[in-house]
């Protein structure tokens, strides 16, 4: 293996072949036991027609500036020189800063970008804006904000817990029953932010099964545990897991199966939680019979499951998806409560997990060293919004909102700067987003490809891909660090984000501060050296930078001690307390109770008004639409690549539906259907499947948004981005997380002429003063 052939992607490391400057093939590396196919999308896509070739400005913006903003997403673009583009961006930044101050610049710029640690676009943007005087940022993730917010109150910080998950080899030896809420889809463990060098999930699931572990898949979709074909399947109704978890707790207490000693020594708040479960105040016992109609699972099966859990060494894992919902916080809290009652937290093979398959990270028996990172400096602007409230922020400047016990006010944003993310992929209710997106005066996007977000921007600056620059690939729990070489020349006029920001910093008078006089290689070396103490703390002695760069690959020794989540706390709760207010697991949280949120009281809670609201909506919109992560790409990245394209049906994103639901609507396998609700409509290609609960349909996220006629308030999305249908509401006032995991829709066969999918085509370009040219 030649080290100069390696390329690191979030979904794996590959060996890259080029011929005459063209990327011709990628092949997996030897140390990856189950490589991801997504890499096969790179040849063809990286140097294809979807690339942004040159800086481009929306025609109306060039002629009339911010006053033309209604033209976003409708007007053609004019290609301009780098000189003209950078001057335009620098002038606009200066103007907005002068007129409105730095808080009027939104630089939250959420998104996964590419895997290299130096060219991480969001970090580059933040560093740049910090030297410019700051920006309004964002906090938490679309992935798991509800969980990130509830866990510190009740168990501890999620990031820390994530890295301490019980290792798979320990589970393989000790776990008797593995309960997977939201399944364990191999699909999602393909990726890990920063790199995924060995895809070991399949191996471990098979090993556990061989060792006799029984698996239970609690999900509306059977395939979520397709790696274990004989897993039991409990086809829960989407959004009802909390009812199930409460009922399991109620059985454990009612039948005397809970671990009284563990509850006494390791938790606080048992009594009020028990009182809630037994209906002391509301007269409702949260029994299996109560849960039956809410979850769609038979009361007998729920009771039986509680007994099985108590009888065996049981691991309960909850996928992140389950908290990406209204009241998503409660699904995590109820899981913590259930596993606390079982008393197996901190034992080898028992307890709980958050997202064992949500990425290729949890449970890997690798060192947790996360590798080099770019210093971002300090942001003088303090305001940060919960990331998924982006459209709310633009639509409601100056208005108050509640967040994790505090009242905040939305800033008045005039300038939006995005690099390394795609809000037209990730945000909910895209038609509402389009309305919000018309508010700011200026929108600048750095992109590699003509995504919808680029097409809806004012100024688009072409960015290089990681194959066109040098970097360092490394990710927490991955166990590797890789020297990323440049394999091909930058495409057309594309520049590194770093070079773009350096050029802007020069115009704005802080180039030296931003670059510290370094070129890319010098930065890689400095970042590498700065990571050395963190490496040492994890027992890793890094070689000299030059040796690393020459070798190309560092694989770190595996940790000597197998890791068991919260073992120290189990062994000695007094001297190894949790980072919660009480130092113990909080079955009741006084902090949360004091927030006074009716939807989020002091203990795990089923919010009946939300359930009733859902039932009302269901009368008109009978189907639950799940929007899951895509098997064939990373979010919207490489949707235009061959692996993703092959999965489409008549060019549309596939939709899974049960044959009964299809038959009731006269729909057959392979049909194109219109999926719609009050918020929007899209086209999808039908895939019939018995592996999905009737009443539920599933689409993957990531098909590039492709509106048919942008003059309409609700244009038909010809391609199938489920976010034209999802609801833009926070999980609750506590977490304000993304709640898009499911929404309500109806489906009908699409009759008439199919519009062509144009998602991956560049926009129309004009030369100023001339007719449009294609
Ligand atoms: N309905 C629904 N919506 C969801 C979810 C869901 O489950 N359901 N999941 C949510 C989750 S968990 C997430 S994490 C988000 C993901 O949302 P995003 O992270 O925004 O999605 P990506 O498609 O990864 O967007 C990354 C963009 O950065 C660009 N890019 C890559 N490298 C570079 C670079 O070096 N420089 C520059 N300038 N650009 C680069 C890519 O071309 C791509 O357009 O989606 C969320 N949205
Ligand atoms: N290939 C690939 N892998 C990815 C990504 C990608 O884009 N592509 N994205 C990565 C990112 S950023 C993230 S955050 C993670 C997300 O990881 P997750 O959030 O865990 O993944 P999802 O695919 O959204 O959901 C997993 C499963 O949960 C089930 N589910 C949905 N709703 C419910 C419910 O109400 N109850 C129960 N019990 N089950 C439900 C669905 O059937 C779905 O298949 O995935 C990561 N992995
Ligand atoms: Mo995510």
Task: Give residue-wise pLDDT tens across range 148-187.
Answer: 999 999 999 999 999 999 999 999 999 999 999 999 999 9
Is the minimum distance from the CB of 119 to ligand 1 under 6 angstroms? yes
Name the residue among 658, 655, 659, 707 with its Cα closest to residue 680.
Answer: 707
- 512, with CB counted inside 10 A (0-12, 13-18, 19+), is exposed
pLDDT tens across 13-42, in order? 999 999 999 999 999 999 999 999 999 999
Dist CA 4 CA 616 (whole Å): 59
Q: What is the spatial distance between Cα 413 and Cα 138, in angstroms, rounded to a whole number? A: 13
* Nearest atom within ligand 2 for CA of residue 635: 7
Euclidean distance between CA atoms 561 and 53, whole angstroms: 51
Helix, strand, coil % (nearest 5) of the chain? 35, 20, 45
d(CA 229, CA 156): 34
CA 736 to centroid of ligand 1, rounded, Å: 19
CA separation for the pair 3, 15 (Å, rounded): 9
- Mean pLDDT within 541-550: 97
Q: Does 635 contact ligand 2 (Cβ within 6 A)?
A: yes
**Strands 585-586 and 553-555: what pairing?**
unpaired
| Surface-to-core class of residue 495, CB atoms within 10 Å of its CB (0-12 exposed, 13-18 middle, 19+ buried) | buried
SS3 584: coil
> Would you say the CB of residue 112 lies under 6 angstroms from ligand 1?
yes
Which tops the pLDDT comparison, 361 or 381? 381
Distance 141 CA to ligand 3 centre (A): 7
pLDDT computed for residue 768 by the predictor: 83
Mean local confidence (pLDDT), 64-69:
94
Burial of 662 (0-12, 13-18, 19+ CB in 10 A): buried
Q: Are the C-beta atoms of 642 and 711 separated by less than 8 Å?
A: no
Say if residue 223's pLDDT is above 80.
yes
Q: Residue 774 — pLDDT band, cuts 50, 70, 90? A: very low
pLDDT at 1 over 70: no
The number of C-alpha atoms within 13 Å of 315 and in the hemisphere containing its C-beta is: 32
**Is the CB of 632 inside a 6 Å radius of any atom of ligand 1?**
no
Q: For residue 230, is it left (φ>0), alpha (ψ between -120 and 50) or beta?
A: alpha
- CB under 8 Å to 301, separation ≥6 — which residues? 234
Residue 741 Cβ contacting ligand 2 at under 6 Å = yes
Q: Which of 11, 14, 110, 410 is catalytic?
A: 110
Residues 109, 417: contact at Cβ < 8 Å?
A: yes
pLDDT in tens, 99-136: 999 999 999 999 999 999 999 999 999 999 999 999 99
Residues 163, 477 contacting (CB under 8 angstroms):
yes
For ligand 1, atom 24: residue with the closest CA = 112
The pLDDT, as a whole number, for residue 85 is: 98
DSSP sequence for 244-299: HHHHHHHHHHHTT-S-HHHHHHHEE-HHHHHHHHTTTTTS----HHHHHHHHSS-H
Q: Residue 2: its pLDDT value, please?
A: 66
pLDDT of residue 14: 97
Question: For a substitution probing ligand 2, which of 188, 202, 630 has the most ligand atoms within 8 Å of its CB?
Answer: 188
Residues 6+ apart with CB under 8 A from 368: 163, 476, 477, 538
Q: Taken in order 346, 351, 353, 357, is the CA torsion positive or negative?
A: positive
Cα distance between residue 69 and residue 322, in whole Å:
38
Catalytic annotation present for 233: no
In short, whether 360's Cβ falls inside 6 Å of ligand 2 is: no
Atom of ligand 1 nearest to the CA of 627: 8
Categorise residue 235: left if φ over 0, alpha if ψ from -120 to 50, beta otherwise: beta
Atom 12 (ligand 1): residue with closest C-alpha?
143
Mutate to test the pocket of ligand 2, among 182, 320, 624 (most ligand atoms within 8 A of CB): 182
Region 655-683: mean pLDDT is 98
Distance 206 CA to ligand 1 centre (A): 31
Query: How does residue 688 score in pLDDT terms, banded at 50, 70 and 90?
Result: very high
Q: What is the per-residue pLDDT across 472-509, written as a single tens digit (0 to 9) for each? A: 999 999 999 999 999 999 999 999 999 999 999 999 99
Q: At what angle do helices 299-311 and 328-342 cross, to 10 degrees?
A: 50
Task: Give the model's confidence band at 773: pLDDT under 50 very low, under 70 low, under 90 confident, else very high.
Answer: very low
Work out the mean pLDDT of the chain and round it to a whole number: 97
Are 673 and 747 in contact, with CB atoms under 8 Å apart?
yes
Ligand 1 atom with the smallest distance to the CA of 726 is 1
* Ligand 1 neighbour 113 (Cβ under 6 A): yes
Q: Residue 769 pLDDT more than 90?
A: no
Selecting among 11, 14, 106, 112, the annotated active-site residue is: 112
Share above pLDDT 70 across residues of the chain, in percent, rounded to a whole number: 99
Q: Which residues pair with 638 in a beta bridge?
A: none
With a 6 A CB cut-off, is 387 part of the ligand 2 pocket? no
91 CA distance to ligand 1 middle (Å): 28
CA distance 217 to 223: 9
Cα 324 to middle of ligand 3, angstroms: 10
What is the rounded distance in angstroms from the CA atom of residue 158 to the CA atom of residue 621? Answer: 35
List the residue whose alpha carbon is closest to atom 47 of ligand 1.
426
Query: How far, in Å, from the CA of 478 to the mean position of ligand 2?
Result: 20
The minimum-distance atom of ligand 2 relative to the CA of 742 is 32
Q: pLDDT tens digit string along 330-357?
A: 999 999 999 999 999 999 999 999 999 9
Angle value at C-alpha 380, between 378 and 386, nearest 5 degrees: 90
Which helix H or strand E contains 469, and what residues bound it?
A: none
Q: Is the CB of 221 under 6 A from ligand 2?
A: yes
3-class DSSP state of 614: helix
- Is 110 annotated in the active site? yes
Ligand 2 pocket test, pick from 196, 358, 721, 742 with the greatest ligand atom count within 8 Å of Cβ, gives: 358
By most ligand atoms within 8 Å of CB, the mutation choice from 128, 443, 496, 635 for ligand 1 is 635
Phi-psi label, residue 290: left if phi above 0, alpha if psi -120 to 50, beta otherwise: alpha
Q: By C-alpha distance, which of 521, 474, 527, 526 is closest to 496? A: 521
pLDDT of residue 342: 98
User: What is the per-residue burial (b if ≥16 Cβ within 10 Å, else e) of 255-276?
Assistant: eebbbeebbeebbbbbebbbeb
Does the pLDDT at position 771 exceed 90?
A: no
């Amino acid at each position: 293996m030649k080290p100069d052939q390696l390329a690191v992607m979030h979904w794996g490391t590959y060996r890259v072949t080029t011929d005459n400057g063209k990327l011709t093939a990628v092949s997996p590396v030897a140390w990856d036991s189950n490589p991801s196919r997504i890499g096969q999308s790179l040849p063809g896509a990286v140097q294809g027609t979807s690339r942004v070739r040159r800086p481009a400005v929306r025609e109306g913006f060039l002629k009339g500036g911010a006053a033309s903003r209604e033209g976003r997403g409708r007007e053609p673009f004019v290609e301009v020189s780098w000189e003209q583009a950078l001057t335009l961006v620098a002038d606009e930044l200066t103007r907005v800063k002068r007129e409105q101050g730095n808080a009027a610049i939104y630089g939250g710029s959420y998104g996964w970008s590419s895997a290299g640690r130096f060219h991480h676009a969001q970090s580059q943007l933040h560093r740049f804006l910090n030297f410019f005087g700051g920006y309004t940022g964002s906090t938490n993730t679309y992935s798991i904000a509800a969980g990130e917010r509830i866990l510190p109150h009740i168990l501890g910080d999620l990031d820390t817990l994530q890295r301490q998950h019980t290792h798979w080899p320990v589970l393989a030896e000790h776990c008797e029953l593995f309960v997977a809420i939201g399944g364990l889809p191999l699909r999602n463990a393909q990726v890990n932010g920063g790199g995924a060098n060995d895809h070991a999930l399949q191996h471990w699931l098979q090993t556990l099964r061989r060792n006799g572990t029984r698996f239970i898949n609690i999900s509306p979709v059977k395939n979520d545990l397709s790696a274990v074909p004989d897993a039991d399947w409990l086809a829960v109704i989407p959004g009802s897991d909390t009812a199930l978890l409460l009922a399991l707790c109620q059985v454990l207490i009612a039948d005397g199966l809970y671990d009284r000693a563990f509850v006494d020594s390791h938790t606080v708040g048992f009594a009020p939680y028990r009182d809630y479960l037994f209906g002391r105040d509301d007269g409702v016992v949260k029994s299996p019979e109560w849960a039956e109609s809410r979850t769609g699972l038979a009361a007998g099966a729920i009771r039986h499951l509680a007994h099985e859990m108590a009888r065996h060494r049981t691991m309960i894992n909850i996928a992140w998806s389950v908290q990406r919902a209204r009241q998503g916080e409660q699904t995590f809290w109820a899981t913590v409560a259930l596993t606390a009652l079982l008393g197996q937290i901190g034992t080898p093979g028992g307890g709980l997990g958050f997202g064992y398959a949500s990425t290729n990270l949890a449970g890997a028996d690798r060192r947790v060293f996360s590798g080099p990172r770019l210093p971002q400096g300090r942001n003088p602007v303090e305001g940060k919004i919960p990331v998924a409230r982006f459209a709310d922020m633009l639509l409601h400047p100056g208005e108050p909102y509640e967040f994790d016990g505090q009242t905040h006010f939305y800033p008045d944003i005039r300038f939006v700067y995005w690099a390394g993310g795609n809000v037209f992929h990730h945000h909910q209710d895209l038609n509402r987003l389009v309305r919000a997106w018309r508010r700011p005066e200026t929108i600048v996007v750095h992109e590699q490809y003509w995504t919808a977000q680029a097409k809806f921007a004012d100024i688009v600056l072409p960015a290089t891909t990681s194959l066109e620059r040098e970097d360092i690939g490394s990710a927490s729990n991955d166990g590797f660090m890789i020297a990323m070489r440049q394999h091909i020349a930058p495409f057309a006029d594309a520049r590194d984000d770093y070079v773009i920001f350096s050029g802007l910093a020069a115009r704005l008078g802080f180039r030296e501060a931003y670059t510290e006089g370094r070129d890319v290689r010098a930065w890689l070396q400095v970042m590498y050296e700065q990571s050395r103490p963190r490496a040492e703390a994890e027992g890793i002695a890094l070689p000299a930078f030059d040796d690393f760069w020459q070798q190309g690959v560092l694989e770190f020794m595996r940790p000597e001690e197998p890791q068991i989540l919260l073992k120290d706390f189990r062994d000695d709760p007094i001297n190894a307390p949790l980072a919660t207010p009480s130092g113990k697991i909080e079955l009741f949280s006084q902090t949360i109770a004091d927030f006074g949120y009716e939807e989020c009281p002091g203990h795990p809670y089923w919010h009946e008004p939300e359930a009733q609201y859902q039932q009302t909506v269901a009368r008109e919109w009978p189907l639950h639409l799940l929007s899951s992560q895509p098997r064939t790409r990373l979010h919207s990245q490489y949707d235009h690549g061959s692996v993703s394209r092959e999965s489409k049906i008549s060019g549309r994103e596939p939709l899974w539906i049960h044959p009964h639901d299809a038959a009731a609507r006269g729909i057959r396998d392979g049909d194109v259907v219109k999926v719609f609700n009050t918020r929007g409509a899209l086209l999808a290609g039908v895939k019939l499947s018995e592996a999905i609960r009737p009443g539920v349909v599933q689409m993957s996220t990531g098909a590039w948004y492709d509106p048919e006629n942008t003059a309409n308030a609700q244009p038909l999305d010809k391609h199938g981005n489920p976010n034209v249908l999802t609801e833009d509401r926070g999980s609750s006032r506590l977490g304000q997380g993304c709640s898009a995991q499911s929404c309500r829709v109806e489906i009908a066969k699409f009759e008439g002429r199919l519009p062509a999918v144009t998602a991956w085509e560049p926009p129309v370009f004009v030369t100023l003063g001339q007719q449009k040219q294609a």
